[in-house]
Chain A
């Protein structure tokens, strides 16, 4: 599904990613943990195609294609979804209108007919229920005046609507209370499929109590320095990141 080789990226003159290697197979859930400033969110942004970041070395294969060659909207149409850490507000653009456009552009890309109003509505209701999102929000402007929790749930709601192949969740857990966290995690778990992969970026272990990853990676200073099973997350929770940092330096 996704193969990242020796990825280097910088913003302005600052190198942030310094050789990331990561392979994610179809149906797997990978967690990426690491201290603040280690480059986790940059990795998500580079995969989604944010233009401020310049890739200086390495490559990324997505379903056998060169991902870095694709425009950001093309990546989305090919099934790459990013759940934003800070979802963006679009004043005056209703959720309804926004999602319909997004969904129909994807369907058009795949050579499918646009979804009928009825089918769209039905699907919207089902997906909103999945993350316990008030359907009333659909007639409001995108993220405009949404609470922090609503914004995050809205990201997972869109994930459900758009049915991506690769979902990258950038600190979806930050700012969520424990109930909201559980709701979001339940939503994600319901969306797990054999042909869909997740890359879950998080600072804290607690999300991984609910979304059980196949593999946990630790990112420090722009590289993945350690990978392991879900126990690795528990170790990190207990010991913090410093021991890994020290070990890495020692190596």
Chain B
């Protein structure tokens, strides 16, 4: 029987959300070095328990290839930040979900409120809007960290409550737009590291949605 400690699962998911959050930020040298190191360090045997392992291993392989991770700055700007409205794959929820005439700031305000409700605030150093993909993924990382702590404290009610929060946040936000964003990146950046990151993140988040739904459905009081 495959068994795992809930805490370890929470930490793994926290690490993966944090990894993907960071990988959608500008690839400064130090950040990139950490990302590459993270793909080496994450427990591959543990990851093999999950169906997204295949796409993760492809990303891990790509991250070790120097040709794949050089010149990323230009790619990043072309894909995600080439001026207002000019990015090929805008990494903002508002771009995908805003109704005609609806200002992006509404999304920012709503998310800031939700982050505050979860006990989070954007750092003054954070240069993007609250509906940037990295902010939403970081929020999920934060929740998974809280979940891991609850596991560690053996606090069942807290575990369930945090998983409910995770599912709510996923359903309200990432489920509604992330897959469209990832599909764009996979199309526009096929064969590059960003295409591979998008594919792995897509597989992981889909799996995480299924996992949280399953856990909450199957847990009897």
A and B associate: no
